[in-house]
Amino acid sequence: MPNPSADILAINSGSACRAAVYKTRSNRGKSAVIPGRESAAGLGCAAEQAVAGKLEQEGYRIIARNYRINRLGELDLVAWKDNRLVIIEVKARSRAEAYGGLAVTITPAKVRRLRQTAWCFLKEKQMMNCDVMFLAALVHISVNGKIGAIETFPFGNV
């Protein structure tokens, strides 16, 4: 199996999250900040960083963050462990139980886009012969906006 090269490891190596600064169509350029709380993008960024830290403690090596293909999708985290490329989709919610849990947010359409984006990543990095695993990292956010429990489980694997 190929081993990620140094140039792949350099992808976004110094990036905090750029996600915290871009604006979405839904808020039309206005800040989504609730007084006393972080923005949704800021919480998403914090959740991704918490998941990356947890996975690194478990022996994963993070090789890319927020890998994006315009009009297709984004890979929140890409990691390497046990000669396998691991694509991690991070989902963070508060009061997730009210909406059927965090896992229901990973729809079949989302899985399809993640697979297509992962294929682009593999092709671009010349890693087409790698074993690939998809993980969902479900991050619970407390009422006061703090990162809570982090659960991971495989999904959509080929």
Residue 148's pLDDT is what?
A: 86
Across 134-140, average pLDDT: 91
Inter-residue contact 150 to 50 (CB < 8 Å): yes
Residue 8's pLDDT is what?
A: 40
Name the band, by pLDDT with cuts 50, 70 and 90, for residue 150: very high
Q: How many residues does the chain have?
A: 158
Name the band, by pLDDT with cuts 50, 70 and 90, for residue 142: confident
Residue 32's pLDDT is what?
A: 42
Cβ-Cβ contacts under 8 Å for 69 (sequence gap 6 or more) = 116, 117, 120
3-state secondary structure of 11: coil
The amino acid at 73: G
Task: Name which CATH class applies to 6-154.
Answer: alpha beta
Q: Which of 92, 35, 38, 84 is nearest to 61 (CA)?
A: 84
Residue 43's pLDDT is what?
A: 78
Distance between first and last Cα of the chain: 17
| Tens of pLDDT, residues 54-111 | 999 999 999 999 999 998 999 999 999 999 999 999 988 776 555 566 567 788 899 9
Residue 13's pLDDT is what?
A: 33
Residue 55's pLDDT is what?
A: 97
Residue 20's pLDDT is what?
A: 32
In the chain, % helix, strand, coil (3-state, to 5) comes to 30, 30, 40
Sign of the Cα torsion 62, 97, 103, 82 reads: positive
Radius of gyration of the chain from its Cα atoms, rounded to whole angstroms: 16
Residue 97's pLDDT is what?
A: 57
Report the distance separating Cα 148 and Cα 94, nearest Å.
9
* Residue 7 pLDDT > 90: no
* Residue 143 pLDDT > 90: no
Q: Which of 79, 78, 105 is nearest to 92 (CA)?
A: 105
